[in-house]
Amino acid sequence: MNPVVLITGQLLTNAIWAPMLGVMAAREVVLADHASDDSIGGMAERLLAGAPARFDLVAHAMGGFVAFEVMRRAPERVGKLVLMSTLANADGPAQTARRQGYIDLVEAGRFKDVVEERIPILFPVGKRGDARLLGLARDMAAETGAEVFLRQQRAIMGRVDSRGSLGGIGVKTLVLWGDGDGIVSREQQGELLGGIAGSRLVVVPGAGHLTMVEEVGVVAGAVEGFLAA
């Protein structure tokens, strides 16, 4: 049984993994640092330096961008790959403009407004009034802080388009996506499935971008079942 490395995305802390940790209690788990670097390459190097020699990789959101870089740099070290709520393409003009808008808010001293701007794309309509989920998103953003958020934004905006390297991923891969995700589309999941031979998709009905805290049982069961198979 391989150890598992977990890495998530911007404005999120390791609190996002709490439901998964309960299911993975029998495994060695490493929580990767996604807050100290301002490039995807730097995050990947830090992950590889702190990871066991051989590991399974579970990557969420921005963590998926790091996972693609890990697979380019050290594919022999990864046993299985789980890609959650992520995509392979680089940003287009609309995404770049949205990210620049977040940066402008932070530079204007309005960091707290960033998470409020993101709530409609983090959660589907039916969950935008869920006090538990909103509280978690706000708490993680506050813990992340403006300085780390700006580093993460620079990393995301500077990432390469990974679609051309998907064919080089030769490990068993699970793609997991909530059908209420306002950031990542079904079409982008299709690009992952088409690019990574033998990969398979699990759709989480009614979940948005934070599937592992929205639909704990479905997601934890799917991930642990895949890794244990």
Q: With cut-offs at 50, 70 and 90, classify the pLDDT of residue 126.
A: very high
Q: For the whole prediction, is pTM greater than 0.85? A: yes
Buried b (16+ CB within 10 A) or exposed e, 60-76: bbbbbbbbbbbbeeeee
pLDDT in tens, 128-176: 999 999 999 999 999 999 999 999 999 999 999 999 999 999 999 999 9
Structure tokens at 216: 């704990």
What pLDDT is stored for residue 129 in this prediction?
A: 93
Tokens coding 221: 């069961």
pLDDT of residue 220: 93
CATH number belonging to the domain at 1-229, selected among 3.30.1370.60, 3.30.360.10, 3.40.50.1820, 3.20.20.140: 3.40.50.1820
Closest residue by Cα to residue 58 from 89, 23, 91: 23
End-to-end CA gap in the chain: 10
Model confidence pLDDT, tens digit, residues 39-84: 999 999 999 999 999 999 999 999 999 999 999 999 999 999 999 9
H/E stretch holding 6: strand 4-7
pLDDT at 94: 86
Sole residue written with tokens 């001293």: 109
Task: Tell me if 169 sits within 8 A of 81, measured CB to CB.
Answer: yes
> Which residue type does 165 have?
S
Give the Å distances, CA to CA, from 191 to 122, 181, 197. 21, 16, 11
Say which amino acid occupies 204: V
Burial of 107 (0-12, 13-18, 19+ CB in 10 A): exposed
The chain-wide mean pLDDT, for the chain, equals 95
* pLDDT at site 48: 98
Q: Where are the alpha helices (DSSP H) in the chain?
A: 18-23, 40-50, 62-73, 93-107, 111-122, 131-157, 186-195, 211-214, 216-228
- Residue 53 DSSP one-character state: S
